[in-house]
Structure 1
Amino acid sequence: MNLVDLIVVVVVALAAIQGLRLGAIVQVLSFGGFWIGLYLGAMLASVTVRQVHAQSARTSVALVTMLGVAILCGIVGRVAGNLAFRRVHRGIAGSVDSALGVVVAVVASLLAAWLLANTLVNSSSLSLNASIDQSKIIRSLDTLLPAPPSVFSRVQGFLSAEGFPPVFAQLAPASAGPVSLPDNALLRQAVIRAGASTVKIVGDGCGQIQEGSGFVASPGLVVTNAHVVAGIAHPVVQDSSGLPHPTVVVLFDPSYDLAVMRVSGLNEPPLQLDPDQVSRGVEAAVLGYPGGGPFTAAPAGVMAVFEAQGRDIYGQGLTVRNVYEVQAVVRPGNSGGPLVQPDGEVIGVVFSRSTTNGDIGYALTSPGVLSRVVQAESGSAPIGTGACAPG
């Protein structure tokens, strides 16, 4: 039992005592108001957090907004419940109401704790995220309950550390554990075979300069993440020499988090995408332009492959992606870059990182990427890049 579990136990115990004293009717109306307020607070938080530029302050603003509105609505419900309390809490009816009040209080407080934990687990604080992730109570609830409503996912997207989209609609599965990483010789091989075909993506939009990575996947076609180009009318590709090339987005898939651009004057050779998924232990490299800086290659190893139920880049519709859990340091700007084997073959596209461990990233597996590249090869008409993604 960790600190989060202890806090949940204390809150539930206090709620149970109050439930016994006040009864079910007061609790139903009070918690009903609290739940309505929590939902409205999440809607308001998704707006207020946009105005906060300091990533470290976003978690506090979201928490205060959500709980503030929830508590106010809970007070309104409590007042209504007190009026009904005076009429019901007599004799046998009062005893039954008190017993049911304990049940209502325990269930409602557990659900509230689970919702808040799932929202805050994507904060900028690795220690907070890890405490939530390791909570036995929250994990047990997570296995029993469906994904939280999308409004909470949208708040989670704004809390996301440095713009990475949440990978999971609920808590991430337990890590598969460390694997071996390639040595410097193998890392150099990956750079020699794939470095020149790895590009930087730059776009002016959403009130900022957005940067990411990508790679040539077919003659004249560059792959990146949808969240890298979301809301950008004219993204630019910079080749390995730093020369800019105009682009036309011909595929934009916010559910899978993938975009494909047709690029003018780009002569770098395309990289081969592996048509099959690889297994645990495969050594690889993460290539890209982290932080908008120079080209960087980071050693990586595939830890696990799984189907991840998450939401689209806007935190709305549920989606399922085939994802690699990767032992690698993934930094902002790596999004859209290739995960390559030493022979230069692409086995995945980097798109996010763990919220609890700075040495774990996530990549879309190559078969799903390949099918979308094939689809994009016949396209030439420009496609809109949607609204700006949270973050």
Structure 2
Amino acid sequence: MLFGVTWLDMVLVVLLIVALVKGYHRGLWVVLGTMLGTVAGAIGGFYLIPFVARWVSEPTLRVVVLVVATVLLIWAGQHIGVAVGRRVRLHVNLPALRRADRVLGSVAALAVTVLILGLISLSLNSLGMAPVTKEINRSAVLTVTDRVMPDGSQRFLAESRAAIAGLGVIPEIDTPVKEVADEPEAAPSATLEVPETEDAQVQDSVVRLSGFAEQCAQTQNGTGVVVAKDRILTNAHVVAGVEEPIVETQDRQVFPGRVVHIDPARDLAVVAVDGADLPVARHGADLEDGAAALALGFPAGGPYEATPAQVQARGELLISDIYGREDSTVDIYQLNADIEPGNSGGPLVTEDGTVAGLVFARAPGSSTIGYAIAGDEFERLLEDVENLEVPVQTGECIPGG
């Protein structure tokens, strides 16, 4: 790295300059045609990721296949778009219009290249491979493209890909802690009165987890919360079957992790990140029925989101382990909240930003009722968390997880 610029940044800057020059020579209409075809190809590559993960088990080959397939899709889309754009450009005859056409072509070409880089970055980042994720997060150019892409579009792409590929299974609880007369029509909106400090206090302690489970040939995504400077608390089903989970922080640091504790019965796991010095979240809070809270995490493995939640009830419930085999009694919160795959392992926090629970499940077929493991279930574990050093077997993965 030279002056904070990586080799990847140098390549990307050259690509952006080439796009600017080609956009000027081609003009707006040809660029627009190219843009539509290219974006269609890049989106096709993005949605192809889960299927490539299933078909190709060897990590390096998986990246190669994905990159080649995406390049071919983009190439095909570009050529179709160029053909359409050239036909339209034939009708732009006035000199003044042609000059404007060239300038706008440069701007459009630059914009579409940034969009494509953002899509490719988002795609490769979700593979659960430390070297790839680290290189992407070190890139200054990709950091900018990530910020330029609206969170809403990133979230939509992540959620739709998970839905199409059948990814992101989250445990479901059939028996509620407390029967609700009428299931809420919607989860609490962002207008729910929750102090801004709640999210800000703990946000830096919330990390994204990803990893590849070879047995199921799938990439798994979830959330974790920092409970010691180099220890992450998450759900067992997030890391089940994953040998080396990847930890991404809010400031784009990337660490390879080691699972040093796993409890399938309570759906808890601890990931060690050697050499890390991360901000630790406060924990030990309790929430009363009706209390407002936030579920913090990365829905569908997409961008960070603070999901408004409201406690409906708290109580001990007999639930199955992550494999649906043995039952245990677990103290949990029942929430009115829109909990999605990817939220798993994220903290449920109080008004002052203190962790009160760990999100882990939702009601079957519901987008308004979720569940979090109460803090009492993991407080004793956290007392000795820094002494957990020895890697443990992560067990079987959960298909679709």
Corresponding residue for residue 204 of structure 1: 212
User: Closer, same or farther in 2 for the Cα pair 1:295/1:332, shift >3 Å?
Assistant: same
Structure 2 CA distance for aligned equivalents of residues 331 and 367 of structure 1: 23
User: Closer, same or farther in 2 for the Cα pair 1:185/1:241, shift >3 Å?
Assistant: farther
- The residue type paired with residue 306 of structure 2 is A
Corresponding residue for residue 80 of structure 1: none
Q: Does 1:283 align with 2:292?
A: yes
The alpha carbon displacement at 1:186 in A equals: 2.9
Structure 2 CA distance for aligned equivalents of residues 345 and 230 of structure 1: 27
Structure 2 CA distance for aligned equivalents of residues 353 and 265 of structure 1: 35
Structure 2 CA distance for aligned equivalents of residues 390 and 309 of structure 1: 23
Structure 1 CA distance for aligned equivalents of residues 275 and 322 of structure 2: 30
Corresponding residue for residue 213 of structure 1: 223
Structure 2 CA distance for aligned equivalents of residues 248 and 176 of structure 1: 44
The alpha carbon displacement at 1:267 in A equals: 2.5
The alpha carbon displacement at 1:196 in A equals: 0.8
CA contact 1:288–1:295 (8 Å) conserved in 2: yes
The alpha carbon displacement at 1:265 in A equals: 3.5
Report matched runs for 1:196-345 at 5 Å: 196-205=204-213, 206-274=216-284, 277-345=286-354
**1:291-311 superposed Cα distances (whole Å, 9 cap, x missing partner):** 111110111111100111111
Give the aligned length: 231
- The residue type paired with residue 243 of structure 1 is Q
The alpha carbon displacement at 1:369 in A equals: 1.7
Report matched runs for 1:359-370 at 5 Å: 359-370=368-379
User: Closer, same or farther in 2 for the Cα pair 1:182/1:282, shift >3 Å?
Assistant: farther
CA contact 1:187–1:299 (8 Å) conserved in 2: no
Corresponding residue for residue 186 of structure 1: 194
Structure 2 CA distance for aligned equivalents of residues 180 and 209 of structure 1: 30
**1:98-142 superposed Cα distances (whole Å, 9 cap, x missing partner):** xxxxxxxxxxxxxxxxxxxxxxxxxxxxxxxxxxxxxxxxxxxxx
The alpha carbon displacement at 1:370 in A equals: 1.6
Corresponding residue for residue 163 of structure 1: 169
Unaligned stretches of 5+ residues in structure 1: 1-52, 54-159
Structure 2 CA distance for aligned equivalents of residues 365 and 287 of structure 1: 15
Secondary structure, aligned partner of 2:380: helix
- The residue type paired with residue 367 of structure 1 is D
CA contact 2:310–2:335 (8 Å) conserved in 1: yes
**1:68-100 superposed Cα distances (whole Å, 9 cap, x missing partner):** xxxxxxxxxxxxxxxxxxxxxxxxxxxxxxxxx
Over aligned residue pairs, what C-alpha RMSD do you find?
2.4
Corresponding residue for residue 396 of structure 2: 387
The alpha carbon displacement at 1:278 in A equals: 2.4
Query: Percent same amino acid at aligned positions?
Result: 35
- The residue type paired with residue 258 of structure 2 is V
Secondary structure, aligned partner of 2:208: strand
CA contact 1:284–1:340 (8 Å) conserved in 2: yes
Corresponding residue for residue 33 of structure 1: none
Structure 2 CA distance for aligned equivalents of residues 197 and 364 of structure 1: 18
Secondary structure, aligned partner of 2:194: helix
The alpha carbon displacement at 1:251 in A equals: 0.8
CA contact 1:176–1:304 (8 Å) conserved in 2: no
The alpha carbon displacement at 1:274 in A equals: 1.5
Structure 2 CA distance for aligned equivalents of residues 210 and 272 of structure 1: 27
Corresponding residue for residue 49 of structure 1: none
CA contact 1:198–1:213 (8 Å) conserved in 2: yes
CA contact 2:178–2:313 (8 Å) conserved in 1: no
Corresponding residue for residue 203 of structure 2: 195
Structure 2 CA distance for aligned equivalents of residues 373 and 176 of structure 1: 37
CA contact 1:215–1:224 (8 Å) conserved in 2: yes
Secondary structure, aligned partner of 1:307: strand
Structure 2 CA distance for aligned equivalents of residues 236 and 301 of structure 1: 31
Which structure has the bigger radius of gyration? 1
Structure 2 CA distance for aligned equivalents of residues 166 and 186 of structure 1: 27
CA contact 2:295–2:347 (8 Å) conserved in 1: yes
**1:28-58 superposed Cα distances (whole Å, 9 cap, x missing partner):** xxxxxxxxxxxxxxxxxxxxxxxxx9xxxxx
CA contact 2:261–2:269 (8 Å) conserved in 1: yes
CA contact 2:173–2:364 (8 Å) conserved in 1: no
Tell me which stretches of 4 or more aligned residues in structure 1 moved more than 4 Å.
Answer: 170-173, 176-185
CA contact 2:198–2:352 (8 Å) conserved in 1: yes
Unaligned stretches of 5+ residues in structure 2: 1-53, 55-165
The alpha carbon displacement at 1:325 in A equals: 0.4
- The residue type paired with residue 360 of structure 2 is F
The alpha carbon displacement at 1:356 in A equals: 4.2
The alpha carbon displacement at 1:331 in A equals: 1.1
CA contact 1:181–1:284 (8 Å) conserved in 2: no
Secondary structure, aligned partner of 1:335: coil
The alpha carbon displacement at 1:164 in A equals: 1.2
Report matched runs for 1:60-139 at 5 Å: none
Using structure 2 for the length normalisation, give the TM-score.
0.54
- The residue type paired with residue 174 of structure 1 is E
